Amino acid sequence: MRRAISLADDAPHILVVDDDRRLRDLLTRFLSENGYRVTPAANAAEAESRLGHMVFDLMVLDIMMPGENGFDFARRLRLLSGMPILMLTARADAGDRVRGLEIGADDYLSKPFEPRELLLRVGNILKRAGNGEGAQAPADAIRFGEFTFRLDRGELRRGDEIIRITDREREILSILGSRPGQQVPREALAGLGAGASERTVDVQINRLRRKIERDPANPVHLQTVRGIGYRLLVDE
């Protein structure tokens, strides 16, 4: 049984609009597990109904939807609201990106995407909009022991030396680093990619510990939270 997630009442509220039910559910779960309140909608009409009853800090909007597409909905919405919009689409054409930005979208992310990139883009949009308090809008860098991890670049260093890490290790560090000292469930660390699986998280954590811990068997920074997941303890 999946654990209930307790979110602060002032956590930023995100409206996720996508006709793909599986992706919509994954986005809802992933963003919720990273500190956001999330309301899903399957199309523009459903999103418009949600907007009539609730206040949102940001909308993640798919472009290719049945009925009113994301471009037309965003254009119409911009006449009424300045709410930030992150356009999410399978169309990676540069012309589509320009069109979305011209309409008034704040950012544009093509599918498939890395969960770490989605979190960083959402956090950066909220930070620019002034709604980042209480959100997962991380500092540019975190430090733990001899190491510095740049959340904006996904870069791990020991002093001036760049430490080579895999994409999944980078993703895990980004998620943990955006919530320093907090308990992060295994589900949140599993990611959204094709190879996403809670069963592999422990293996990936152990590999990462061998790179950042003096004694991986007795970790100081990347700690296990029994029955829940992990947390990353950083320097003040």
Residues 95 and 146 in one domain: no
Verify that 180 and 202 share a domain, yes or no. yes
What CATH number does the domain containing 200 carry?
1.10.10.10
Contact between 153 and 142 under an 8 Å Cβ cutoff? The reply is no
How does pLDDT run across 147-192, given as a tens digit for each residue? 999 877 788 999 889 999 998 888 889 888 878 888 888 877 876 4
Token pair recorded at residue 225 = 């939270």
Q: Is residue 134 part of a domain?
A: no
Please tell me the pTM assigned to this model: 0.57
Quick one: 116 and 151 in the same domain? no
> Containing domain of residue 106, as a range?
13-129
Q: Which residues pair with 147 in a beta bridge?
A: 144, 158
Examine the domain organization and report whether 125 and 36 are in the same domain: yes
Q: Is residue 39 part of a domain?
A: yes
Tens-level pLDDT at each residue, the chain (236 residues): 444 455 556 789 999 999 999 999 999 999 998 889 999 999 999 999 998 888 899 999 999 899 999 999 998 888 777 889 999 877 666 666 777 777 888 888 888 888 888 888 898 888 887 755 444 444 578 999 999 998 777 889 998 899 999 988 888 898 888 788 888 888 778 764 445 566 788 999 999 999 999 999 999 999 999 888 899 999 86
**Three-state DSSP class for 209?**
helix
* 160 located within any domain: yes
* Same domain, residue pair 70 and 120: yes
Kindly report the CATH number assigned to the domain that includes residue 29.
Answer: 3.40.50.2300
State which of 129, 149, 181 marks the end of a domain: 129
Residue 114 lies in a domain: yes
Does residue 40 sit in the same domain as residue 62?
Answer: yes
Domain co-membership, 71 together with 150 = no
Same domain as 48, residue 68:
yes
CA distance 154 to 23: 24
Q: Is residue 135 part of a domain?
A: no
* Residues 65, 41: Cα–Cα separation, whole Å: 11
Residues 49 and 124 in one domain: yes
Residue 41 lies in a domain: yes
The domain tally of the chain equals 2
Cα gap 158→172, rounded to integer Å = 18
- Asked if 192 and 157 count as a contact pair (C-beta separation under 8 A), the reply is no
